[in-house]
Amino acid sequence: MYHYTEEQLQSMKKVEATRAERLKNLFPRMSAEEKDTVLKENHPDYIESAYETLKVGPNKGDKVLHELADLLQGRPRIRDYQINLDKPDYDVDVLVIGGGGAGSSAAITAHMGGANVMMVTKLRIGDANTMMAEGGIQAADKENDSPAIHYLDAFGGGHFAAKHELLYKLVNEAPDAIKWLNDLGVMFDKAPDGTMITTHGGGTSRKRMHACKDYSGAEIMRTLRDEVLNRNIPVVDFTAAIEIIKDDKGQACGAVLLNMETKEILIAKAKTVIIATGGAGRLHYQGFPTSNHYGATADGLILAYRAGAKLLYADTLQYHPTGVAEPTQIFGALVTEKVRSLGAQLVNADGNAFVYSLETRDVTASTIIRECNKRNKGVKTTDGVGVWLDTPMIEQLGGEGTIEKRIPAMMRMFGKYGIDIRKEPILVYPTLHYQNGGIDISADGQSGVENLFVAGEAVGGIHGRNRLMGNSLLDIIVFGRNAGSNACEKAKTVKVGKLSLSHVDAFEKELAAAKISPKVSSPRILPDYRRKDM
Amino acid sequence: MENFVNVYFFGKKYRVPESLTIMKAMEYAGYQLVRGCGCRNGFCGACATIYRIQGKQELKTCLACQTQVEEGMYVATLPFFPLVKQVYDIEKIKPTEQIMMQLYPEIYSCIGCNACTKSCTQGLNVMQYIAYAQRGEYKKCADESFDCVMCGVCSARCPAGISHPQVAELARRLYGKYIAPKSEHLEKRVAEINNGDFVKLIEDVMNKPVEELKELYNKRDIEK
């Protein structure tokens, strides 16, 4: 049994007392106006003091969060090292930076196309947000559904801001992405006749969420990793890309690499480069905890920006409504949206529901913040405040055993701290989850810099200003394959000129001209969690 | 007031708050982790750890990001373990009993000591899934091993030199690709898309003015 406080236990009793009533009367959906209001008044994206205006680079004049601005306008980390571009340590067709789902899909696809591919990653292949994606992957492959309906769900959920050509690709190629994974051997949840078991996610109008229990991302990631290894694609791990190299024609043609253990500098030359570096949760924007992996520090955005690529919607982040608020040991870890898909409600300290279970993530997170701040109906926790997620409802709705069968990872994670989610509700609060924006690309996956491709969470514009559950696992596959295939084709005709880092010199001159004295070295590479008073 | 416990990282003593996980305690003690830390949420298997509580005999295993520190805990991390991963072409192999014999013959040297199961950081019945693999029962092997994070602790404890997580990975891919029932609706939809069946439908939505799209979105019918 977990040691809840007396106040928490009292509140838990209220949740139990109202459960039967809440099972009968679902909380109604919000109107469009109500959603707008709750977002503007509560969502962290609307807190102006958290933002500042960029003074240099392709997005000069745009607002981004302070933490990102410091890095985008930071001191290039390569200045700490002697860099010699004359003798590259690696010379390949396609260089993939990042070892998650997008990077792996890209590498496999480029390899299938005949390219000599290399992957470089800060941690190991698979130590990535993909591995932790629990809920599922969307694709309109059922009779009552169509890519057009998927399009409308995603476009509306993203506040009508997605780039048409990117979203078109995402939804239209979704079924083929599922088929590709299935044919690689990913074990999707299926009925005995082969029909995919699909559920709703927040903001979906059809049940199109495919899953592999609540290890969806893990099952996809370990399959992709196995395939990368089967193809003998070299994976250089514990090595960070710290600058993009361009040639005298302004084309991207490699990266400066840093062996994080020995601090040795290595030069990778390539005909095309794919940035698949993922998100930024470990920058802890606005002090939020994060569900992201250890290396999620927006490095790809920094590298691409200094190389001259424009960012799109870099000001918008996704705060997943249900991060762990208690126990403190796993504060900020993700509680999958699938818990709500299966019927668990969000409930305040008095035991009252306050939001329909499957509004979009930004709206749901905003209502939790409102409940805890403005309405003072939160439950005090070790690290702050939270609301209840009434998991026992799942067993009552779906029958005994549903939790163990459908969300075993959640049951295990809480079980380790003596919390049986089948019997007790859990405490949650929004956690920094996803970078909605990123590097602007065209439909072929290329950024504003010639031969610099981008895939996965590092891309901006696929989802607009908010992403639906299940569209991220989808985008890493669709846009990973897209980037891999196009980078491979492009590499066949590229003539690489003289390697240069003069764009970095130029960027520093811009910084000086704008009278910015950098506060930090960038990219960040890893967060520093050592005790502060050391 | 925060309570503290004494823990030993690689034999060296540190005093750390008792509420921390092993991973956070190492950081509290001053380690800037590079290896042995990945997703920090119990999914990637990067932080496999072995420990023994002072004065006790039993050698325990865990994931450092998912386990709270205890008084007298002697901790050694296992950031890398040399698993054997056989290379194969998923398009060419078949889900026969022979394939395990060809790729991972050492599974037949299992002596039944059950050290793998006892050491599993996910609480899986590892020896059982290896038994299923030996018999070519890939569905059972796949299901039994499904929650594996491939941390490799089982293999570190195995006297027969079996790389259990890789055996299970092969079984899952064989099951997913060859044995699981085919999804006809998926094949059908992919064929329709390749035929261009949805191009006009999506373009119709895409080309509408935003005001009209908002109306459509807010009034769309939602499957029960």
d(CA A399, CA A393): 9
Residues of B in contact with A32 (CB under 8 A): 214, 218
Tens of pLDDT, residue by residue, chain B (224 residues): 579 999 999 999 999 999 999 999 999 999 999 999 999 999 999 999 999 999 999 999 999 999 999 999 999 999 999 999 999 999 999 999 999 999 999 999 999 999 999 999 999 999 999 999 999 999 999 999 999 999 999 999 999 999 999 999 999 999 999 999 999 999 999 999 999 999 999 999 999 999 999 999 999 999 98
Whether residue A320 lies in the annotated active site: yes
Residue among A188, A329, A410, A414 with most chain B CBs within 10 A, to mutate: A329
Contact check, Cβ <8 Å, A148/B32: no
Please tell me the distance in Å from B120's CA to the nearest CA on chain A: 13
Q: Do B191 and B175 share a structural domain?
A: no
Residue among A30, A112, A123, A181 with most chain B CBs within 10 A, to mutate: A123
B182: closest chain A residue by CA:
A194
Residues of B in contact with A148 (CB under 8 A): 198, 201-202, 204-205
Q: What CATH number is given to the structural domain containing B62?
A: 3.10.20.740
Contact check, Cβ <8 Å, B34/A260: yes
d(CA A113, CA A172): 22
Are A343 and A351 contacting, i.e. CB atoms less than 8 angstroms apart? no
Contact check, Cβ <8 Å, A293/B44: yes
Stretches where chain A sits below pLDDT 50 are none
Contact check, Cβ <8 Å, A194/B177: no
Closest CA to B220 of A475, A157, A138, A141: A157
List the single residue in A128, A172, A200 with the smallest CB-CB distance to B193. A172
Domain A6-30+318-432 grouped into CATH 3.90.1150.10: no
The two tokens of residue A360 are 């979009």
**Does the residue B44 lie in any domain?**
yes
A523 preceded by a cis bond (ω within 30 of 0): yes
Instruction: Tell me the C-alpha to C-alpha distance, in Å, between residue B224 and each of A148, A199, A200.
Output: 19, 10, 9
Contact check, Cβ <8 Å, A226/B41: no
Q: Which residues pair with A94 in a beta bridge?
A: A117, A272
Q: Do B168 and B197 share a structural domain?
A: no
List the single residue in A143, A232, A329 with the smallest CB-CB distance to B21. A329
Residues of B in contact with A151 (CB under 8 A): 202, 205-206
A327: closest chain B residue by CA:
B19
d(CA B110, CA B61): 21
- pLDDT tens digits, residue range B184-194? 999 999 999 99
Determine the CATH number of domain A76-316+436-500. 3.50.50.60
Please tell me the distance in Å from B111's CA to the nearest CA on chain A: 27
Contact check, Cβ <8 Å, A329/B173: no
d(CA A199, CA B223): 10
The distance between the two most distant Cα atoms of chain A, rounded to a whole number of Å, is 72
ipTM passes above 0.95: yes
**Does the residue B197 lie in any domain?**
yes
**Does the residue B84 lie in any domain?**
no
Please tell me the distance in Å from A197's CA to the nearest CA on chain B: 10
Contact check, Cβ <8 Å, B186/A178: yes
Q: Do B106 and B47 share a structural domain?
A: no
Closest CA to B27 of B77, B71, B72: B77
The residue annotated as part of the active site, out of A150, A225, A320, A406, is: A320
E runs forming strands in A112-249: 117-120, 137-138, 198-199, 209-210, 235-236, 239-247
Contact check, Cβ <8 Å, B147/A408: yes
Which amino acid would we find at residue A416?
A: K
Instruction: Tell me the C-alpha to C-alpha distance, in Å, between residue A175 and each of A142, A309, B5, B191.
Output: 10, 31, 52, 10
Please tell me the distance in Å from A61's CA to the nearest CA on chain B: 26
Residue B151 belongs to what domain range? 97-179
The residue annotated as part of the active site, out of A210, A340, A433, A524, is: A340
Are A522 and A71 contacting, i.e. CB atoms less than 8 angstroms apart? yes
- Other C-beta atoms within 10 Å of A512: how many? 12
Q: Do B111 and B175 share a structural domain?
A: yes
What pLDDT is recorded for position A298?
Answer: 98
Residues of A in contact with B1 (CB under 8 A): none
Contact check, Cβ <8 Å, B176/A188: yes
HSE at residue A166, side-chain half, CA atoms within 13 A, is 32
A324: closest chain B residue by CA:
B41
Contact check, Cβ <8 Å, B213/A193: no
List the single residue in A148, A219, A530 with the smallest CB-CB distance to B27. A530
Residues in chain A: 534
Closest CA to A285 of A427, A430, A387: A430
Residue range(s) in chain A whose domain bears CATH number 3.90.700.10: 6-30+318-432
What pLDDT is recorded for position B1?
Answer: 57
What pLDDT is recorded for position A353?
Answer: 97
Contact check, Cβ <8 Å, A127/B210: no
Q: Which residues pair with A241 in a beta bridge?
A: A257
List the single residue in B88, B176, B186 with the smallest CB-CB distance to A187. B176
Q: Spell out the residues 6+ positions from residue B26 whose beta carbon is closer than 8 angstroms to its own.
A: B9, B33, B64, B75
Instruction: Tell me the C-alpha to C-alpha distance, in Å, between residue B89 and each of A232, A281, A387, B135, B174.
Output: 11, 36, 49, 22, 11
The two tokens of residue A222 are 């370990």
Residues of A in contact with B202 (CB under 8 A): 147-148, 151, 168, 171-172
B189: closest chain A residue by CA:
A141
Q: Do B193 and B174 share a structural domain?
A: no
Q: Do B132 and B164 share a structural domain?
A: yes
Residue range(s) in chain A whose domain bears CATH number 3.50.50.60: 76-316+436-500
Residues of B in contact with A413 (CB under 8 A): 41-42, 66
Alpha-helix residue ranges (DSSP H) falling in chain B: 22-29, 97-103, 115-119, 126-134, 138-144, 153-156, 164-174, 184-194, 199-206, 210-218
Contact check, Cβ <8 Å, B218/A156: yes
**Does the residue B82 lie in any domain?**
no
Residues of A in contact with B20 (CB under 8 A): 329
Which amino acid would we find at residue A233?
A: I
Contact check, Cβ <8 Å, B39/A185: no
Q: What is the pTM assigned to this prediction? A: 0.96
Burial A453-478 (b: 16+ CB within 10 A, else e): bbbbbbbbbbbbbbbbbbbbbbbbbb
Are B64 and B23 contacting, i.e. CB atoms less than 8 angstroms apart? yes
Q: Do B108 and B166 share a structural domain?
A: yes
**Does the residue B42 lie in any domain?**
yes
List the single residue in B27, B88, B183 with the smallest CB-CB distance to A195. B183
B195: closest chain A residue by CA:
A172
Contact check, Cβ <8 Å, B177/A183: yes
d(CA A123, CA A282): 14
Residues of A in contact with B183 (CB under 8 A): 141, 182, 188, 190, 194-196
For chain B, how many structural domains are there in total? 3
List the single residue in A179, A293, A526 with the smallest CB-CB distance to B39. A293
Whether residue A370 lies in the annotated active site: no
How many residue pairs from chains A and B have C-beta atoms closer than 8 A?
228
Q: Do B120 and B163 share a structural domain?
A: yes
Contact check, Cβ <8 Å, A195/B68: no
